[in-house]
A and B are shown apart, each in its own frame.
Chain A
Amino acid sequence: DGGITQSPKYLFRKEGQNVTLSCEQNLNHDAMYWYRQDPGQGLRLIYYSQIVNDFQKGDIAEGYSVSREKKESFPLTVTSAQKNPTAFYLCASSMTGGHIETQYFGPGTRLLVL
């Protein structure tokens, strides 16, 4: 079955620690996205990538970093500079990143701060 997998489902971060959230897709999609969801709010874009080895900042990129070394993988690192990291993180992909395309979402990773 084609789809998007995210791991882990829950992640705990200590003060001053960097953590990395995994996102893998086997849909052969070029474009991938990371969104953050806070309670009672819509999703906000952190980073996106339309092609391997290239990515752009979204609306709330501060305190986050990404890489896109392989088409199927788009890991997100939450750095110690992100002062309020507790949220639900969702990864998505679409075929080419066009504005009419459907984005397919993974099941999400919930990040909690210890």
Chain B
Amino acid sequence: GDSVTQMEGPVTLSEEAFLTINCTYTATGYPSLFWYVQYPGEGLQLLLKATKADDKGSNKGFEATYRKETTSFHLEKGSVQVSDSAVYFCALSVIQGGGKLIFGQGTELSVKP
């Protein structure tokens, strides 16, 4: 079945460090791919998305490229800030899925000053 695998956390970085959170997927057809962010005690917010192969999603300094050949959608940011501390979820949605999102387990990021 369709699934998403993320790198395990927690990830702890110093401010201004480079961030990579790995995400790989298994899906039939050509899914849309998403990164959502969750701050403590809150709901999820869309960070970025890509709907076809080779698309790059970007927002607030974060980027991810839809790589069909490696079935990956890794999240990157060149210089993290303390305010980026949150849990990050990779997710996919397939054409026949009724819009349902299939999530990875989430990666907790902690950025220290």
Whether B99 contacts A102 by the Cβ 8 Å rule is no
Name B98's contact: one of A4, A44, A97, A108 (CB within 8 Å): A97
Contacts of B113 in A (CB 8 A): none
Contacts of B34 in A (CB 8 A): 102
Whether B4 contacts A105 by the Cβ 8 Å rule is no
* B82 contacts the other chain (CB 8 A): no
A100 with B51, Cβ < 8 A, contacts A40-B106, A41-B106, A42-B89 known: yes
Name B44's contact: one of A6, A56, A90, A97 (CB within 8 Å): A90
* B25 contacts the other chain (CB 8 A): no
CA distance A100 to B52 in the complex (A): 9
**Interface 1/0s, chain A 37-68, versus B by CB < 8 A?**
00011111100101000001010000000000
* A33 contacts the other chain (CB 8 A): yes
Instruction: List residues 87-105 of chain A with CB under 8 A from any CB of chain B.
Output: 90, 92, 94, 96-105
* A111 contacts the other chain (CB 8 A): no
CA distance A36 to B32 in the complex (A): 21
Whether B99 contacts A50 by the Cβ 8 Å rule is yes
A58 with B100, Cβ < 8 A, contacts A42-B4, A99-B94, A100-B51 known: yes
Contacts of B105 in A (CB 8 A): 40-42
Contacts of B97 in A (CB 8 A): 99
CA distance A31 to B98 in the complex (A): 9
The interface centre, meaning the residue of B41, B42, B100, B103 with most chain A CB atoms within 10 A of its CB, is B100
**Interface 1/0s, chain B 44-86, versus A by CB < 8 A?**
1110010100000000000000000000000000000000000
The interface centre, meaning the residue of A96, A103, A104, A106 with most chain B CB atoms within 10 A of its CB, is A103
Whether B101 contacts A107 by the Cβ 8 Å rule is no
Whether B95 contacts A99 by the Cβ 8 Å rule is yes
Contacts of A108 in B (CB 8 A): 41-43
7 smallest CB-CB distances across A and B, nearest first, come from: A42-B103, A97-B99, A105-B43, A99-B93, A105-B44, A100-B51, A43-B103
Interface residues of B (CB under 8 A from A): 4, 31-32, 34, 36, 41-46, 49, 51, 89, 91, 93-95, 97-101, 103-106
